[in-house]
Each structure stands twice: as C-alpha cells, then as structure tokens.
Structure 1
C-alpha cells in the first residue's frame, strides 16, 4: 500500500478541485431533483463510449418497474470501493456529483493523482439505485418499501441487486450517499449541516473494529476537506445501530461504510454548491484511500464533529414580530419558516418548487436560521392576494392569524395612522 511520502504529487487543494468541478459538471443535466433514470443512463453510456478502456458498464438488476440498475466500474487496483447513491428517490445530490467526478477522471486521467488512484483502487458505483422513486421524487420504491430498511428481508429487487454486487466484489470500504432534511443544524451552532458524515455502526454497542476505525478516519478527511470550503457546516450523523439498514449491515458484512448526508446550504437554490461539496469530498476521500493518507488521519477529527441537531434550523426566522391571535388580540413571538422542495408536472415538463411552511411559533431563540429578520415594530399576517406588493398601503380591520403548518405566504406590515392602516414592508413567499 502506498504511503503519503511515496505519492508523486498531492491531490489539488479543495479550492482548486472546487474550481475544476465547474468544467467537469455536465450542463446537459437538469438540477439534481429533476434528474431521471434516462438522464443517468444516457450519461453513463456516453462515458463508456468516450473511454471504453477506462469504464466498464453493466446492468446488475432492474427496478420494480423494469428500469435498469447500472454498475459503473473503473480502475485496476486490487482494493475495491463501492459507492451507491439515491437509494431514496428524493435524495439526488450525490448522483450528479458521481457523474461529474467520473467525467473529471475521464478528462484528467493523466494527472498523477488520478492515475495513482486508478492504479491503487477499483471503483464501483451504482449512481441511481432507486430509479422508480426518483421518477416520483419520493423516498420509497414502487412497492412502497424503503430500500434502506430492506438489507435483511431483501424484498425489493433494488436491495437484492446492491447486496449481490457487494457479495461479488467484497469491497474493503463503501460510500452510502444520501440527502437529509434542511432543518438539520450542526449541533447548537445554528449553522446548516451542509454535509454530515457517519462511520456506520455494526452492532448495538457501537463497537469499533479495524474497518469501522478506517471509516471514521475517512470521515475525518472529509470533514477537513469540506470545512475548507464551508467552515462550520459539517455535522456528525446519529450512529445508533439500525439492524435493517444497508450501511450498518455493509459494515457488519465486512464493507465498512461511510455515510454522507447532504443537507441545507446558506442560500437558495442550493444545488450547485452542494454538488460541488460532494465532488470535492469524494475526490479527496478516494485519494486518501489510494495513498494511505486515510490510515494516517486523526480519528479525533471525526469524534469531535458536532452531532446533527435534526430540528435546529429553519430557513427564515422572524424575530420579535407582532402577530394577531384569537379575536384579533396582538402578541409578540418568533416565527420559524422551513423550506422543502416538490417536483410537479406542468404542461408535460417537470417543475421544481420551493415550498415554505410556518413550522415554529413562540420563543425560538435556540434555533439557527439561514436568514434572520428583526421584526420589532412589524406585524406578520397571511398574504392578502398575489397582487399585493411591497410599499402598498392596506386597510385591515381584522388582520388574519398566522398559524402553524400554513404556507409561508406572508406580509410584514408596519402600522400607520389611523388605526388599521399598514404599509407592506416585505412580501414573504417561496415558489419557483
């Protein structure tokens, strides 16, 4: 196994890799939530056609609805690495990142660090494990089963394909690539957990063995890489043992698994920066495995990552804003607005929407937020029609109440004279 001192050239810095991603990223692919099986299939076949001596492509199974499950492999090394993405159909970021990484390898294969990686490792990837779920932008497959809870029962063809591939390859490490909800924060810092990592446990005691220790060290490498681009935005995923899950069972079967969960970013839309982070994280982690640098990583850098706070973040936080309660009685509170995304069809085309909802009301001083608005002296009320715009003056005798769960289509109003007169200071709406 090569050591860091034997490497002929270090991998480029995270910043240089991030810039290189811009050229490797396919402009033909839609944003990740709109990528479908046909897009991935076309991209993989194009890679194979452009570099048949580099890429091998096979079908390892079919989804419930008959879509091919593709396995792409490259490299000649004796140590095999398995990467799988989008076993949940609505968790698409890493699928695009993998395709971009393979394109980068194709066009940079003569670079010393890339050639070294290809000589030390053989990479195997299933970029889209749940194409039926992706078609619907839903977590589960067409049977309604969560593939990531089917590692033992193996009632889904997708799970059987992944298990069969692992058993055939016997990879020495695996990368389990997911997305997590946008409310995940890094501990109590109020920062978004843009990337969370986990060395998956293999028993209830969360024991360590050489494989899991290696996975922790790879996570440490990823932490340091991502924090060079997104300081304070790396969290540690809950390592409770889940007896049905693939990551935990992969580790138990002898393929220690590194979980990467992609979360929220500091602005909307988040896709490009998050795909870029995944690209850089995967490139650096694979180089660290190829050179032996991963084995030298400080495991304390993993253990000290703040744990995810699964409800510690909202997108927009209105602080100390006036609200109208039952009977129109005013009071002061904080309003927390969370944002998710939905895919719908419009005129035969797929459309991606941002959907905001009021998810928190009250004293929210412990929550982090992508954006905070100081609302002292303002009132928040539901939006009074799409024609209303900032700067309008409204007469509201009985202002409506802001309620939990309602769409985040709101107005921030400044009271004027006479009573019941307000000026629209801001329109809050998330769509498109």
Structure 2
C-alpha cells in the first residue's frame, strides 16, 4: 500500500499544477469551463455532455480512471460558489502531469472519478446562487424541477457511486466555533435521515472528512470547522446518502487578505487529492472517527472581515461614543466600463461592543476617530479638517469605506492614520 502524499508535498505540487491563465474566481464562466474541458487529453479523460441548463449550456461530465470504485464530485450548483470548479481542473492537471507516478497510478487503478465541474452555469453567468428559473438547485433533490438537478440525479442513478463530494463556498462571516478564526474550510458527512443515523457509508464519509481535516489543518491550524448536520430533506447531499451515495461536503470560506483566490484553491487541491489518495490506498477506512467528531462546529455569524476596535464613532445622531465597527466582505462581480470585474465588496454590519465576535483582521482604533471616506477620497498621511457632523455619521449598511483620524498638532487639523476600504 502506497502512503498518501503529505500536505506539505501537495501544497508544493499545487504551485506546479495551478492554472496560470485562470480568471478571478467570480469570473469563471461556462466558456472558461469549456476551454479547460477541451484541453483534457482524450487518452486519459473521457468527456460527455450529461445534460443542459435552463438556458441550454452544456453540463459536462468528466471521467478519469479505470478503478472499480466509482466516485462522483460536483461543484458550483450555486452559481456564486466558484472555488472548487477551478480546483477540480487543477486536480485533473495533477493527474495528467503525474499519471506515471505510483500514487496517481494507484488512484486511477482503484477509483473511477466522475466530475461535474459546473452544475449551474446560468447562475455562474449572473454570479447568483439560484439557476435561471430562480430555483436553488440544492433544494430541488425531491421535486427535480430544474434540468440541472435532474441531470445530477440521473448521473448518480446511472453510475451508482460509492461516495460523493459536494463542493461549495460558504458565508465569509463563518468562524470556527468561538475561536474567532475564519472557517476557511468546513466539512460535513451529511445525515441521510432526521435521526442523523450512521451506516457504513456515512461512517466512511466521516473518516474522509477526518483525513481532510488533518491535511488542511497542517497548513492552516485552527481554520477547519464542521458544518451543521441537521437533516435537510430537500438537499442533494442529504438525499445522496439516502439513495446510497454518502457524501462529503466541503465548504470553502473566508481568508485573510484581499487576494483569497490562490490560498483557497491550494486548500481545495490539498483536501481533494488527500482524500482521494486515502480512498484509493485504503487508508481512509483506518482514519480516526474522533478526528471528525472533534471538529469544532461553525458559527455562521461569528466573524467579521475587519473590526475597528474602540474608536471614537459618530452614529446617526447624538454624541460620539467609544465603539467597535464590524465590516463584512464578500466576493462580487461589478461592471466597470462595460466589462465585468471581480471585487471584494464590503459593508458596515454592526456597531458597538463587538468583543464576542472574531475578525479576519483587527484594527486598533484607540485614540482615533472613524468617519466615512469622503467622495473625493483621501490618502493616509493627509492633513484634513474634521468633516461636518452631517458627514461623520457611521451606520449599519454603509459601504465599508472609512478613514481613521488622529488630532494633529495644527489647530483644527486631523491626520489620516488609516484607510479601510472595500469595493462597493
């Protein structure tokens, strides 16, 4: 039995197999997926059109391997959850480039991988959660009113995979328990009934989650959380288990800094390759279930992207007070000069005493006054007068555009100490 790759090895390998021409994640559209599919060597990969979206876009089924164990992976059933779509093609590139390596040989001879890299291309085109009908595909497992949902169900029924990987992104406010750390990767072996029963398939999914936890936590300690396992009767992941295909849910979450694409893709690559190699080698069955059970539960609203601590703040009315300012951030697509661009947008989400929340970044606001950034802008180090009271108000729902001011030696002037700004 071949040992699975170490997290450090896979992290380094990702630098070799990452896709150099990839667009920013929110701009990965169906045309890009088609271009990547066309590059897959036909002597190694088989590609079919498994179905079509509401607006007629092809839903691609990519197959690689000759092993007896069938594995189904699907990504971007929510159009605004793009990370794993690119990550899957980086896994394909790893398989292509290292096809002669003993680990990849074992994987391909033991498993047959089936992937739907983009299940909701119409939603991806709009960068929205739902499909073109306005339906959440992941809540359509029973009625099957979406062509995308019917395609996934038909593929599962035809292949009868022994395990599935359900790949998503989650809210950037999600923290790992009460640690205050971002849940950059969250894991779940979804329940297949309301009693949250276990069977051999769900136990295997839990063990695969344990493998992923150990691999990812080696790179980002404390940033792996566990998604709620409350049974969702309408969801695909839950019903897959009921139909005989236990699933591993991987939710990609927040990351420190503006450029989150590369580190989150690296984590997805390490998670997927580690778990697939463990499944192929048989080491997944030997994983410690306790490593799954002890993953801290997520707190879905426990995290801000930035918190300014203990600044002087003018609210909508009244005198200035000492308070914290919590700002959220999220991936978004905006039109600039008639073309779509990917941005990290943000807004002010809370004011007051926010000590019970975590933050990706904490800014020390003591001795500083926080006011909205003026339309004309400002630069750090500028000396400016304090804006009129009518322009100093900070309130929930405003764009996350603030400047932090310190009284200067010059009478009536203030120095811009720090600017905190996200896109609108």
TM-score category of the 2 structures, normalised to the smaller one? over 0.9
Q: Distance in 2 between matches of 1:229 and 1:55?
A: 30
Q: Deviations over 1:230-277 (max 9, x none)?
A: 111000001000000000000110000000000011222100010111
Q: Deviations over 1:103-141 (max 9, x none)?
A: 110110110010001001110000000000000000000
Q: Distance in 2 between matches of 1:125 and 1:64?
A: 20
Aligned position for 1:170? 160
Aligned position for 1:95? 85
Q: Distance in 2 between matches of 1:126 and 1:426?
A: 45
Aligned position for 1:407? 399
Unaligned runs of 5+ in 1: 1-6
Q: Distance in 2 between matches of 1:357 and 1:59?
A: 40
CA RMSD of aligned residues (A): 1.4
| Structure 1 residue 384, shift from structure 2 partner | 1.9
| Structure 1 residue 16, shift from structure 2 partner | 1.2
TM-score, scaled to structure 2: 0.97
Aligned position for 1:60? 50
Aligned position for 2:39? 46
Indicate conservation of the 8 Å contact 1:77/1:118, yes or no.
Answer: yes
Q: Deviations over 1:321-364 (max 9, x none)?
A: 10113545111111111111211233453201211211011111
* 1:29 paired to 2:19: no
Which of the residues 305, 315, 320 maps onto 1:325?
315
Which of the residues 293, 301, 308 maps onto 2:291?
301
Aligned position for 1:159? 149
Q: Count residues with an aligned counterpart.
A: 422
Aligned position for 1:16? 9
Matches within 5 A, 1:175-324: 175-324=165-314
Which of the residues 407, 411, 431 maps onto 2:423?
431
Q: Distance in 1 between matches of 2:88 and 2:241?
A: 22
Instruction: Say which SS state the counterpart of residue 74 (structure 2) adopts.
Output: strand
| Structure 1 residue 385, shift from structure 2 partner | 2.7
Aligned position for 1:4? none
| Structure 1 residue 395, shift from structure 2 partner | 2.0
TM-score, scaled to structure 1: 0.95
Aligned position for 2:336? 346
Q: Distance in 1 between matches of 2:44 and 2:380?
A: 56
Indicate conservation of the 8 Å contact 1:328/1:400, yes or no.
Answer: no
Instruction: Say which SS state the counterpart of residue 167 (structure 1) adopts.
Output: helix
Indicate conservation of the 8 Å contact 2:325/2:350, yes or no.
Answer: yes
Unaligned runs of 5+ in 2: none
| Structure 1 residue 22, shift from structure 2 partner | 1.3
Instruction: Say which SS state the counterpart of residue 182 (structure 1) adopts.
Output: coil
Instruction: Summarize the Cα distance change of 1:327–1:185 in structure 2 as closer, same or farther, 3 Å threshold.
Output: closer
| Structure 1 residue 12, shift from structure 2 partner | 2.4
| Structure 1 residue 163, shift from structure 2 partner | 0.1
Instruction: Say which SS state the counterpart of residue 425 (structure 1) adopts.
Output: strand
| Structure 1 residue 153, shift from structure 2 partner | 0.4
Aligned position for 1:366? 356
